[in-house]
């Protein structure tokens, strides 16, 4: 079992994006506005690891269900059934899922909101059903992935908020900034949602041949590549409108450096839309998928500017 195959199995670049998302939203947005953190470092690490474990479990079970389709779409990439046995994949899925749910139970108990552990149970179930069923249904799988991508930002603020309740003085002094924190978190949740949805729809066009042979009813399979591309372009334009609205908010709020930085995101997104309009084959869509990761990373890095500008 080679390390590089294992790292590819767990999608380490995607995990890195999740780590940066949660670390940056906490240290560069939430804590500067609160003045201090409600969660301890240990509590935050438990939250982060819980999200990572559940995400890894989702990637493993996704490759398990995609073994046949990936032999057509991405020959040699999916190692479940070759490098990793089916039995190993199932056991790894159950182990990572159990660790993620256990971590969710622990952090929820720590902040005094044990019921919120259901979020981790819910996301684990969603990832299973996404892999087994939802990813082969028109847009539903795309929306599930986009929602779960946005959720990681919201979880940090959710648990930070409830952890602060045990620090009455901090909670009282920080209340004036709760609205701004919520707005910033919603902005990045919205960005993650649209960026993930856009990328997932591009990946569906990249995987059209294999999905069609396996009977998956993704958008390109149902309506054809041309109409699916038009629909994806519309989502991209809607995302551009969202980013422009966010820039307007930054301008009115006096975050002028952040306002200026987002023009780079505008330019990159417009370039992707142009390339998408011209895309014809699997190589074009694969390149666009890579560009969309760069776009997401650039959005996350904007939190650094907020930190220094605030």
DSSP string of 96-123? HHHHHHHHHHHHHHHTT-GGGGHHHHHH
For tokens 């500067």, name the residue.
32
Burial of 228 (0-12, 13-18, 19+ CB in 10 A): buried
Percent of the chain with pLDDT over 70: 90
Backbone angles phi, psi at 80, to 5 degrees: -70, 125
**Nearest CA to 147 among 203, 99, 190, 108?**
190
Rounded Cα distance, 306 and 21, in Å: 14
Residue 134 binned pLDDT confidence (cut-offs 50, 70, 90) = low
What pLDDT is recorded for position 74? 61
Would you state the pLDDT for residue 310? Answer: 75
pLDDT higher at 68 or 107: 107
- Which has the minimum average pLDDT: 48-52, 89-93, 106-110? 89-93
Give the pLDDT confidence score for residue 272 in this predicted structure: 96
**Residue range 210-237: mean pLDDT, rounded:** 83
pLDDT for the residue 207: 78
pLDDT at 1 over 60: no
Q: What is the mean pLDDT of residues 169-189?
A: 87
Range name among 49-58, 134-143, 146-155, 216-225 with the lowest pLDDT average:
134-143
Most confident of 74-78, 210-214, 244-248, 289-293: 244-248
Note the pLDDT tens digit of each residue in 235-282.
Answer: 999 999 999 999 999 999 999 999 999 999 999 999 999 999 999 888
Per-chain mean pLDDT for the chain? 86
CA 104, 107, 112, 113 torsion: positive or negative? negative
Could you give the CA distance from residue 43 to residue 294 in angstroms, rounded to a whole number?
30
Q: Is the pLDDT of residue 19 over 70?
A: yes
Per-residue confidence band for 214, with pLDDT thresholds at 50, 70 and 90: low
Picking from 142, 148, 243, 240, the residue whose alpha carbon sits closest to that of residue 197 is: 142
Reported confidence tier of residue 73, pLDDT bands at 50, 70, 90: low
pLDDT of res. 70? 60
Strand-pairing partners, residue 80, are 84
Looking at the predicted structure, is the pLDDT value of residue 78 above 70? no
Task: State the pLDDT at residue 236.
Answer: 96
Could you tell me which of 141, 144, 125 has the C-alpha nearest to residue 133?
Answer: 141
């Amino acid at each position: 079992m080679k390390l590089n195959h294992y790292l590819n199995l767990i999608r380490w670049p995607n995990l890195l994006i999740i780590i940066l998302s949660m670390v940056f939203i906490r240290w560069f947005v939430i804590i500067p506005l609160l003045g201090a953190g409600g969660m301890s470092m240990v509590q935050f690490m438990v939250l982060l690891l819980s999200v990572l474990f559940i995400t890894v479990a989702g990637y493993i079970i996704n490759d398990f269900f995609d073994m046949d389709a990936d032999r057509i779409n991405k020959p040699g990439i999916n190692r479940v059934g070759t490098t990793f046995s089916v039995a190993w994949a199932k056991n790894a899925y159950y182990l990572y899922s159990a660790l993620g749910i256990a971590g969710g139970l622990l952090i929820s108990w720590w902040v005094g909101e044990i019921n919120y552990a259901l979020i981790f149970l819910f996301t684990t179930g969603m990832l299973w059903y996404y892999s087994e069923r939802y990813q082969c249904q028109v847009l539903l799988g795309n929306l599930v992935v986009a929602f779960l991508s946005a959720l990681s930002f919201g979880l940090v603020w959710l648990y930070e908020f409830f952890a602060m309740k045990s620090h009455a003085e901090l909670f009282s002094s920080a209340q004036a900034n709760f609205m701004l924190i919520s707005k910033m978190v919603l902005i990045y949740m919205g960005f993650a949602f649209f960026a993930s949805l856009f990328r997932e729809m591009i990946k569906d066009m990249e995987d059209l041949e294999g999905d069609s042979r396996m009977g998956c009813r993704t958008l390109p399979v149902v309506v054809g590549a041309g109409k699916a591309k038009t629909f994806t372009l519309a989502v991209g334009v809607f995302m551009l409108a969202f980013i422009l609205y966010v820039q307007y908010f930054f301008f009115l709020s006096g975050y002028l450096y952040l306002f200026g930085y987002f023009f780079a995101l505008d330019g990159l997104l417009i370039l992707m839309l142009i390339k998408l309009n011209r895309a014809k084959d699997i190589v074009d869509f694969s390149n666009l998928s890579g560009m969309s990761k760069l776009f997401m990373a650039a959005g996350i890095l904007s939190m650094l500017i907020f930190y220094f500008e605030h």
